[in-house]
Structure 1
């Protein structure tokens, strides 16, 4: 879990230690009572050394302390962060399916899901039963009794393992297991009469499929945005004619601007030409009287 503050870290540590100590005390008590009852009943346990007996009791207490400390830590996390207890779509679908099952179907499902703990528990139980049966034989030594009990326990465990393998093969052939295709009511049907097939995932731990729901929610948001954009563009299409007219007006304005620039340059050039022509005419008028006087003088001579 994520610890945000020093106070929260201290509270988490105290809760975990308290849970571990409580579980350890309960485990030690249960282990001591079980060992005491076993030594009174079985000669094999009475023959164990004191260190071995202490190990059995302490191992039981250690195991119980670890389990209780972990549960206390998780309980603290759920208490401080209730959003972590979010139930995803797969869990809700599984709960709806479980609610409609009979007691026999639930018992079969429980045995299928807890097949390996059942195998372990059956081995321990068969060892205890076999030791109890073999321990009554006074003609066998302690080692012979232990070997005989182990043979019986192994035989029973092998039979349970074979049954477990048969269940595994049956699940694989029926498409069951971590992924399963089931029939459920269509949630989009207002009359709740239409049945659809849905492939669900059985979580190995709580919240395993949380990331799947987050991805699906984000995909739905993206699809909704795309649909809204397409709907808006369909209702308000772009004005192509107006845009074309705008381009035409821009070209006309640029052409007129260019024409104005050319006209101004031509007018300035024409003005300069007229000024030069006027200067030439003025010079010609000034020089005309002088030429006439010279011609007259020549005629008088």
Structure 2
């Protein structure tokens, strides 16, 4: 087991912070022009209170900060992989690429949704709230405060629905994982030994 040095921890932290800044910049580049355009072109949007507009910006920017920071940290970790461990990880990545290429579009879509569950849930929630908000804001019989209350009530209902759907989906994933547990034995250790033996043979040959 490799002992992580203080400098590596600092570098990892710096990489994560850099990723978070990149995510914030990307989110701002998407959110600010979009909200400026909405404010200019859509009268209903101009009537929204500032806190609600700010909440919309947070919905766009916050997930990008989190996702980009995590990816940056993982990229740094991969850059430090060396030796037999790196060879084994590269082998697994190659096998995964072949497996992915063999899947059909339906299976790829299902697996992508399973692997990006949080993004799917967040996106579904945001799109649903945006659609409901757009519909409610067109109602000429309600005042702006009434419309805001309606949007908030719908948002709460959608949140509960999304959480229930996520719980059902997660439970199904766990059942499938438990069913396949005995079928997918981990033989990574065997591959590592093979890689070590191959590395020794190559060293002797040189």
**TM-score, length basis structure 1:** 0.45
Instruction: With a CA cutoff of 8 Å and minimum separation of 6, indicate the structure with the bigger relative contact order.
Output: 2
**TM alignment of 1:257-272, pairs within 5 A:** none
**Cα distance, 1:45 vs structure 2:** 5.5
Query: Is contact 2:48–2:144 with CA below 8 Å preserved after alignment?
Result: no
Match of 1:100 among 99, 102, 106: 102
| Aligned twin of 1:25 | 25
- Three-state SS of the structure 1 residue aligned to 2:177 is coil
Query: Is contact 2:12–2:76 with CA below 8 Å preserved after alignment?
Result: yes
CA–CA separation in structure 1 for the residues paired with 2:9 and 2:162: 45
Ranges in structure 1 where 5+ consecutive residues have no aligned partner: 182-197, 202-208, 219-301
- Three-state SS of the structure 2 residue aligned to 1:176 is helix
- Three-state SS of the structure 1 residue aligned to 2:142 is coil
**Cα distance, 1:164 vs structure 2:** 5.6
Instruction: Give the structure with the higher percent helix.
Output: 2
CA–CA separation in structure 2 for the residues paired with 1:59 and 1:166: 24
Aligned residues: 189
Query: Is contact 1:134–1:149 with CA below 8 Å preserved after alignment?
Result: yes
Ranges in structure 2 where 5+ consecutive residues have no aligned partner: 194-206
Query: Is contact 2:129–2:158 with CA below 8 Å preserved after alignment?
Result: no
Query: Is contact 1:42–1:135 with CA below 8 Å preserved after alignment?
Result: no
Pick the structure with greater CA Rg: 1
- Give the alignment's Cα RMSD to 1 decimal: 4.5
Q: Give a deviation string over 1:118-145, Cα, whole Å, max 9, x none.
A: 3332221111111111111111122332
**Cα distance, 1:3 vs structure 2:** 4.6
| Aligned twin of 1:213 | 188
Match of 2:184 among 195, 200, 214: 200
Q: Give a deviation string over 1:11-58, Cα, whole Å, max 9, x none.
A: 556544443433332223323223323434263564423x77567657
Instruction: Give the structure with the higher percent strand.
Output: 1
| Aligned twin of 1:122 | 124
CA–CA separation in structure 2 for the residues paired with 1:43 and 1:64: 27
**Cα distance, 1:156 vs structure 2:** 5.7
Q: Give a deviation string over 1:70-115, Cα, whole Å, max 9, x none.
A: 4333322322334565439987776554443221222233334445
CA–CA separation in structure 2 for the residues paired with 1:134 and 1:120: 21
**TM alignment of 1:1-301, pairs within 5 A:** 3-4=4-5, 6=7, 12=12, 15-40=15-40, 41=42, 43=44, 46-49=47-50, 57=57, 61=61, 64-82=64-82, 85=86, 86-87=88-89, 97-115=99-117, 117-152=119-154, 176-177=176-177, 180=180, 199-200=183-184, 213-214=188-189
